[in-house]
Amino acid sequence: METSLEPPSGPGSGISSPASSPATGSGIAAVASNSPVSDVRRFLLARGNSALADRIFSLLMLACAASIFCIVAFIASELISQSQMSWHASGLAFFYKFNVDPQTGLPLFWDPVNGVFYALPFLYGTLVSSLVALVIAVPLAVGVAIFLTEMCPRFLRGPLAFLTELLAAIPSVVYGLWAIFILVPLLREHINPILIDTFGAPLVVRLFGWTGLVGDNGLFGGVNLGLGLLTAGVILAIMILPIIASLTREVMSTVPHSQREAALALGATRWEMIRIAVLRNARIGIVGSIILGLGRALGETMAVAMVIGNTAEIHRSLLSTGHSMASVIANEFAEATSDLHRSALVEIGLALFVVTILVNGLARLLVWAVTRSNPVRVN
C-alpha cells in the first residue's frame, strides 16, 4: 500500500498552495487599507510634495538675513553720496583742520555764514562727554549689579531690578528737561564750586601743575555756567547706567554657584569670592555691556543737545560748553540754507556712523585680548 507524502490542499485543509499566495497578499493589503489612518498620516498624505515649500521658506529666511546687510549698505551709500560736496571741499582735513579768526586770533571751526565747516570740535565733544559718562557710570553699574546678584535681600531684589531697568525706558527728552531744571542748578551751585576749589588749590597746583589738569586752565577751570561737557557726561552716565547694570547683572547670574561655593570652601571672604569667582568669569560680558553703553552714549542726541551748550569750540575744561556730532545735526540740519552746510552735516553723520563701527571693532579686539590667554570654558 502506497502512502502519499503530498500535503493536502483545498478549502478545508487550512494550508494554501503556492498558487494561492498572490490572493493572500492582496487580502493582507485589503486589510491594511481598511485599517484606520492617523491624523498625522492623513496630513502628510494630503499635503503632497513639500520640497517647493521648504525651498521658499529657505529663500525667505535668507532674504531676512540679507536685509540687514542691505540696510547697512544703503545707509552707508546714502551718507557717502550726500556728503560728496563737503568731502570734495575739505577732504580728510574736515576732521582735524581749522581756520584762525583774523580779529580774535582764535581757532574758527564752524561758521555757516562764511562757509567754514570743520568737525573737530564735534568729535572732541562726543568723545569727551562719552568718556566722562563711562568714568561715572561703570563703577556705579558694576556696584549695582554686584549688590543685586550677591548681597541684595530677596524681597528687595525684584523691585530694585525693576527700577533699574525702568530708567532705560525714560525718553531722552525727559532726561534733558530734568537736567535743565535740576541737574544744571545742582552742578552750578554745589558740585562745580567744590571741584573748582579742589583742583585750583595752591597745594594741588604746586604738586600737579605740570600735568596741565589743575589750575585755572585745568579740567575744572573757566566760567561756571552749569552747562557744558561735564553736565552732558553726567546725564549720559545716568542714561547708560541701567543698560550696563542690567546686562552685567544678567552675565553675573550665569556664573555657576559651584564657582562661588568652591571659593568659599577654600577660605575666601565674600569680596574675594566675588572678585575671583564671579567677576573673573563674567568679565567678558561686563566688557560687552560697557561697549553697549558707550554706543548709547555716542549716539545720544536730545538730552546732550539740551545741556552741552552747543558751541563749536574746544576747551580743556569740562565746565566749558561744547558740541557733539549728534547734537549739531539735530540743531542745524533743519535750518541749513546752503548745500555745503547740509553736506557737512551729512558728513558728520557719516563720521558718527564710522565711529560706531570702530567702537564695535574695538570691542571685538578687546574681547579677543581678554580671552586669548584664558579661553572660555563651559562649566
Length of the chain: 379
Tens of pLDDT along the chain (379 residues) come to 444 444 444 444 444 444 444 444 444 444 445 567 677 777 666 666 667 778 888 899 999 999 999 998 999 999 999 999 988 888 888 888 888 878 877 888 888 888 888 989 999 999 999 999 999 999 999 999 999 988 888 888 888 888 888 888 888 999 999 999 999 999 999 999 999 999 888 898 888 888 888 888 888 888 888 899 999 999 999 999 998 998 888 888 888 888 888 888 888 888 888 888 888 888 888 888 888 888 888 888 889 999 998 888 888 899 999 999 999 999 988 888 888 999 999 999 998 988 888 777 776 666 565 555 444 443 4
Integer angstrom CA distances of residue 57 from 43, 62, 71, 212: 19, 9, 21, 63
pLDDT of 35 reads 61
DSSP state of 7: P
**Continuous H helices in the chain:** 21-34, 39-47, 51-82, 84-90, 120-146, 154-166, 172-178, 184-186, 192-199, 202-208, 229-253, 257-265, 270-273, 280-299, 302-307, 325-332, 339-371
pLDDT of 255 reads 83
Say how far apart CA 87 and CA 82 lie, in whole Å. Answer: 10
pLDDT of 25 reads 47
pLDDT of 106 reads 82
pLDDT of 308 reads 92
**Which residues lie across from 322 on neighbouring strands?**
309
Residue closest to 123 by CA, chosen among 97, 85, 88: 97
Say how far apart CA 163 and CA 357 lie, in whole Å. Answer: 31
pLDDT of 20 reads 45
DSSP state of 179: I
DSSP state of 228: S
pLDDT of 33 reads 53
Buried (b) or exposed (e) across 323-350, using 16+ Cβ within 10 A? bbbbbbbbebeeebeeebbbbbbbbbbb
pLDDT of 28 reads 45
Residue closest to 297 by CA, chosen among 120, 71, 110, 125: 125
C-alpha dihedral over 169, 170, 173, 175, to 10 degrees? -130
The CATH code that applies to domain 83-371 is: 1.10.3720.10
For the chain, the domains span: 83-371
CB-CB contact of 131 with 333 (8 Å): no
- Written as one letter, the residue type at 246 is S
C-alpha dihedral over 220, 223, 225, 226, to 10 degrees? 10
Residue closest to 242 by CA, chosen among 289, 307, 299, 282: 289
- Count of CB atoms situated within 10 Å of the CB of 294: 25
pLDDT of 57 reads 87
Say how far apart CA 162 and CA 136 lie, in whole Å. Answer: 21
Say how far apart CA 78 and CA 149 lie, in whole Å. Answer: 45
DSSP state of 91: G
* Contacts of 161 by beta carbon, 8 Å cutoff, 6+ apart: 148, 246, 249
- Count of CB atoms situated within 10 Å of the CB of 306: 23
